[in-house]
Chain A
Amino acid sequence: MATATPEAVEARVVEALASFGPDADQVTRDATFEELDIDSLDLVELAQIVEDDYGVELKGDDMKSLKTVGDAIDLVVARAQ
């Protein structure tokens, strides 16, 4: 299991989100999922990735409140503590 430093989580989340379609340079902390055309199924897959890599379990209610890439990174880092 990888250590969930903020830098590592950010890199992993950006990499994962870019794999769903948007260019990696568009995936900034302030970018919204709507802008990136990241939908709810993408976020389900992102949840599985962070669970596999960091042991952080994100539920449906957690995911629904996420609006930006930064929200997702911060949530994973906070849960991994």
Chain B
Amino acid sequence: MPEPARPGAALVTGGARGIGAAIVRRLAADGWPVGIGYHSGAAAAEALVAEVEAAGGRAVALGGDIAAPETLEGHFGTLEERYGPVLVLVNNAGVNADNLSPQIKDEDWTRVIDTNLTAAFRATRRAIPPMLRARHGRVVNISSVVGLRANPGQANYAASKAGMIGMTKTIAAEVARRGVTVNAVAPGFIASDMTAALPAELLAHIPARRMGTPEEVAAVVRFLASDEASYVTGATFTVDGGISA
């Protein structure tokens, strides 16, 4: 197991399953101690901790609703106490509550924005000052191709994911000269719990003619989190089999 170039930790929100779990595995394999944020997937989070540890890595499961500010503070406090500052933050936690716009209730709008966008902002705000002091930091926001192009039935989700891209660009410009990068990754259709219910005909619209895997998204995140990505900031990377091309 390699040691990261500097002491610190990674935090992956929504890290117990799907894309988040694949990111956890990659970052842990690069030597980062990883905080695995989860809300409902306690068993999956604990199993992933055990898997990472069995492979010689370090991880800790961090439970709670990410939309609650105290949850985030607890995650950061635990990681800082155990491993040092959070130098890699992956804002991956996301929910959807799909409906055509006239049918989206206020609570479904608010819940999606709060979890996907506001929590990502709060986590980034909390992470950046220690990154500035360390003269190093990596924030990766997991957006979506739905933040770039239309997907009827997901106005709330699209707004949250497009919001992440705007936030990514501006925060990236604010902190770039301190060695802190902020980027977004916009996955297309990735095989996961969230896309399990999608119809098979959808594949005909994807140039690659298949769904992506969580590992294919995690590979890009791993690069953006690495020292090699030091001049990459404010960018959005689609990982979508060409669907937004």
Contact = CB atoms under 8 A, between A and B. Distances in A.
B82 interface: no
Nearest to B176: A41
A40 to B, nearest CB: 9
Contacts of A45: 129, 132-133, 178
A44 B128 CA distance: 10
A51 B129 CA distance: 10
Interface in A23-56: 41, 44-45, 47-49, 51-52
Interface string B117-140: 000000000001110110000000
A51 B80 CA distance: 15
Contacts of A41: 132, 174-175, 177-178
Interface in A51-65: 51-52
Query: How extensive is the interface on chain A, given as a class?
Result: under 10
A37 B115 CA distance: 38
A44 B133 contact: no
Nearest to A49: B133
Please report whether the interface of chain A is mostly helix, strand, loop or mixed according to DSSP: helix
Interface in B86-121: none
A8 B133 CA distance: 20
B178 A48 contact: no
B243 to A, nearest CB: 37
Contacts of B178: 41, 45
A44 B177 contact: no
Nearest to B133: A48
Query: Residue among A44, A47, A49, A51 with the most chain B CB within 10 A?
Result: A44
Nearest to A48: B129
Nearest to B129: A48
Contacts of A51: 129
Query: Residue among B132, B133, B177 with the most chain A CB within 10 A?
Result: B132
Contacts of A52: 133
A21 to B, nearest CB: 11
Contacts of A49: 133
Contacts of B129: 44-45, 47-48, 51
B227 to A, nearest CB: 21
A52 B134 CA distance: 13
B50 to A, nearest CB: 34
A42 to B, nearest CB: 9
A45 B133 CA distance: 6
Given A45-B129, A45-B178, A51-B129, 15 more contacts: A41-B132, A41-B174, A41-B177, A41-B178, A44-B128, A44-B129, A44-B132, A45-B132, A45-B133, A47-B129, A48-B129, A48-B130, A48-B132, A48-B133, A49-B133
Interface of B: 128-130, 132-133, 174-175, 177-178
The 4 closest A-B pairs by CB, nearest first: A48-B129, A45-B132, A48-B133, A45-B133
15 contacts: A41-B174, A41-B175, A41-B177, A41-B178, A44-B128, A44-B129, A45-B129, A45-B132, A45-B133, A47-B129, A48-B130, A48-B132, A48-B133, A49-B133, A52-B133
